[in-house]
Amino acid sequence: MAAALEVRGIVKRYGALVANAGVDLVVERGEIHGIMGENGAGKSTLMNILYGVTQPDAGEIRLGGALVRLRSPLDAIRNGLGMVHQAFRLFDSLSVWENIVFGREPVRGWVVDGRTARAAVAELAERFSLSVNVDARVGDLSVGVRQRVEILKALYREARILILDEPTAVLTPREADALADVMRALVADGRSILFVTHKLREVLDVTDRITVMRHGAVSARLETARTSEQEVVRAMVGRAVSLDIQRPDVATGDVVLEVDHLSVKMEHGHSAVSDAGLTVHAGEIVGIAGVAGNGQSELIEAIAGLRRHAGGTIRLRGTEIGGLSVGARRRLGVAYIPEDRATVGTAGRASASENLILGFQRRREFQRWGHLLHERVLGWAQRLIVRYDVRIRDAQTPVDTLSGGNLQKVVVARELEHQAALIIAEQPTRGVDIGAIEFIHRKLLEERARGRAILLVSAELSEILALSDRILVIYEGRIVANLPSREASEERIGSLLAGGSGDAPPVEAGPLRAPSPAPSLSDAKLRDP
């Protein structure tokens, strides 16, 4: 019997860039097939070709043995392909069932037959245990449920092959587990799944086979049962990557950042941060661990100057900066790598060189009489692009063309070259590939060795543990623990993250709450390699 999907010799060029250089891929019926590769390896291009979004320059696609041409997503849908994008394409104001039947509504006379539609959706949801309330407004749903709606949309259109593009990037661990169950139910029904992901552990857990891409070509085809993390990583990166970080001892210097009794109030008056205190010394990385939404973003924004604080002091090398503007703080020596690189960290339509001087454009070396010295700016940008290994056509290319990892390198380059005493790194490696993670970690450690003070926030506990000299745990807006990294373990921090006591009495802790039964938060963010 012919394979569900068979792709031969797909080539796609964008100008000089070869995004796909003769890709072959075979997906059998009833199989979960993992697609791995670093950012820019050509996965997205391949998926877009399979879904009819872009047309290949060469190559053929067969579905169940029959040659097809997919000229549009609609073509792909008609041929039994379904895709769940990372950014959902749902109508927030419409109900779940309306979203699902949209464009293929059952009708009774002139009217949309809501009863039939609801029943059809409920039946599908039941069959694949995708529990949703069919009448809920999509705008009110959590990310995990929205994703189920997207999957149901594809199933309602009778998708036999489902492409899931980084589906777990937006999910909580429990939702990710539920998704894995759904995927198994779908393949048990004879469908096939193309599972695109960065996360090694997931791909090894749920897939049957893995195709690894590198530089636009397939670098390995692996049987999941007979492979290992190392083998996958080597195929992805082209060399062995060690994410075990050597953190050499650095003598810590003076206090650089000193925050006392800081509180931040939200629009509705509730406290996002209460009575937080922390210090960061020169040559030290202080990590803030916390489950998203516990006040770490607000704390960082208050220090960076993006958010007003309600009380307390923020001192940089002894100078109170709490009342200063963002620009003034930056001039005094605060660098900030924001969580949201695309909207806060960069100006998408501006070029790489413009982005790389953003915030320093008034410096003597870049301007004279208020107009930019183009040559110097370009020269500076080109040096940083080389030093930080940003894969970009040239310094004048707008940065919104860059992949996540490369865009992050632009932000990191600009902020680290700032020569600031304090570096705030907020989720510096979120959504970037393994090679870029390794690079950014190395850079942060180099800055530490140069005697800079680094405040690191991450949702990845493994990242916090690997990089930090000291670890603060934030829970419900309070810093509930302050541990030297040698006293920290995943178990202990995990318990603290969920509001537990961390077994040992934490140092400098605020009032602790009774351990809440928040489930499995300790393994929450430990899924990544």
Partner 1 sequence: MSNLFSVILLQATLQAMTPILLASLAGVLCARVGVFNMALEGQMLVGAFFAVVGSYYGGSALAGVAAALVAVLVFTLPLALGTTWLRGDNISICIALNLLASGLTSFLLRIVFGVSGTFSDPAILPIVKLRWLWLRNIPVAGILTWAQTPITFLSWALIGVVWFLLFRTPIGLRLRGVGERPDAAQALGVDVSRYRIVTVLGSSLLLGLAGAQLSLGTVSVFSEDMTAGRGWIALVAVMLARSDPLWAAAACLLFGFTDAIGLRLQSIGLPNQLTDITPYVITLIVIVLNSGRSSIRLRMR
Q: How far is the CB of 299 from partner 1 (least distance, A)?
A: 14
Binding flag, residue 110, partner 1 (CB under 8 A): yes
Sole binder of partner 1 in the list 9, 17, 69, 93 (CB under 8 A): 93
Cα end-to-end span (Å), the chain: 37
Identified binder of partner 1 from the candidate list 17, 58, 65, 92, rule CB under 8 A: 92
φ, ψ of residue 5 in degrees (nearest 5): -140, 130
Is 111 a binder of partner 1 (CB under 8 A)? yes
162 CB-contact burial (10 Å; exposed 0-12 / middle 13-18 / buried 19+):
buried
**Among 301, 354, 476, 528, which residue sits at the site for partner 1 (rule: CB under 8 A)?**
301
* Single residue of 21, 220, 255, 306 touching partner 1 by CB under 8 A: 306
Which of 111/251 has CB closer to partner 1?
111
- What are the tokens at 10? 């797909």
171 contributes a contact to partner 1 by CB under 8 A: no
143 forms part of the interface with partner 1 (CB under 8 A): no
Dist. CA 237–CA 241, nearest whole Å: 7
| DSSP, res 344 | I
Point out which span in 84-92, 119-127, 160-168, 245-253 binds partner 1 (CB under 8 A). 84-92
* Binding-site string for partner 1 from residue 251 to residue 290, where x marks contact by CB under 8 A and - marks none: ----------------x-----------------------
Rounded CA-CA distance 449/284 in Å is 8
Q: Determine if 74 is a binding residue for partner 1 (CB under 8 A).
A: yes
Kindly indicate which of the ranges 12-20, 110-118, 163-171, 199-207 contains the residues binding partner 1, using the contact rule CB under 8 A: 110-118
Q: Is 55 in the site for partner 1 (CB under 8 A)?
A: no
Which stretch, 33-41, 99-107, 141-149, 364-372, contacts partner 1 (CB under 8 A)? 99-107
Q: Are 495 and 522 in contact (CB under 8 A)?
A: yes
Would you state the structure tokens that stand for residue 357, as one six-digit string? 């001087």
Instruction: Characterize the bridge pairing of strands 161-165 and 192-196.
Output: parallel
Q: Which is nearer to partner 1, 153 or 209 (CB)?
A: 153
Measured from the CB atom, is 73 or 277 closer to partner 1? Answer: 73
Is 310 near partner 1 (CB under 8 A)? Answer: no
CB of 338 to partner 1, least distance (A): 10
Q: How far apart are CA 154 and CA 56, in angstroms?
A: 23
Q: How many alpha carbons lie under 13 Å from residue 350 in its C-beta half-sphere?
A: 14
Helix, strand or coil, per DSSP, at residue 282: coil
Neighbours of 52 (CB within 10 A): 22
136 touches partner 1 (CB under 8 A): no
x-or-dash string of contact with partner 1, 348-387, rule CB under 8 A: ----------------------------------------
Span near partner 1 by CB under 8 A; candidates 102-110, 181-189, 483-491, 521-529: 102-110
Pick the binder of partner 1 from 90, 134, 232, 352 (CB under 8 A).
Answer: 90
With CA atoms as reference, report the closest residue to 295 among 498, 518, 521, 476: 476
CB of 47 to partner 1, least distance (A): 14
State which residue, 430 or 527, has the beta carbon closest to partner 1. Answer: 430
Q: Taking the complex as a whole, how short is the minimal distance between the CB of residue 306 and partner 1, in angstroms? A: 6
For residue 131, what are the CA distances in angstroms to 86, 151, 182, 186, 361?
20, 11, 10, 14, 52
Rule CB under 8 A: say whether 91 interacts with partner 1: yes
Q: Whose CA is closest to 103, among 69, 94, 141, 81? A: 94
Residue that is written with structure tokens 């959706």 in the block = 121
The answer to whether residue 69 forms part of the interface with partner 1 (CB under 8 A) is no
Q: Are 222 and 27 in contact (CB under 8 A)?
A: no
Q: Which stretch binds partner 1 (CB under 8 A): 124-132, 300-308, 358-366, 426-434?
A: 300-308
In the set 137, 184, 307, 376, which binds partner 1 (CB under 8 A)?
307
Separation between Cα atoms, residue 426 and residue 325, nearest integer Å: 19
Q: Does 73 interact with partner 1 (rule: CB under 8 A)?
A: yes
With binding defined as CB under 8 A, does residue 344 bind partner 1?
Answer: yes
Provide the H-helix boundaries in 360-489: 374-387, 404-416, 434-449, 461-467
Question: Could you give the 3-state DSSP secondary structure of residue 250?
Answer: coil
Residue of 107, 188, 292, 507 that binds partner 1 (CB under 8 A): 107
Task: For the segment 112-131, give every residue that binds partner 1 (CB under 8 A).
Answer: 112
Residue whose CB is less far from partner 1, 109 or 318 = 109
**Which residue stretch of 72-80, 140-148, 414-422, 508-516 sits at the interface with partner 1 (rule: CB under 8 A)?**
72-80
Q: What are the beta bridge partners of residue 11?
A: 21, 58
DSSP readout, 62-131?
EETTEEE---SHHHHHHTTEEEE-SS----TTSBHHHHHHTTS--EETTEE-HHHHHHHHHHHHHHTT--
Where on the chain is the footprint of partner 1 (CB under 8 A)?
73-74, 77, 89-94, 98, 102-105, 107, 110-112, 153, 267, 301, 306-308, 344
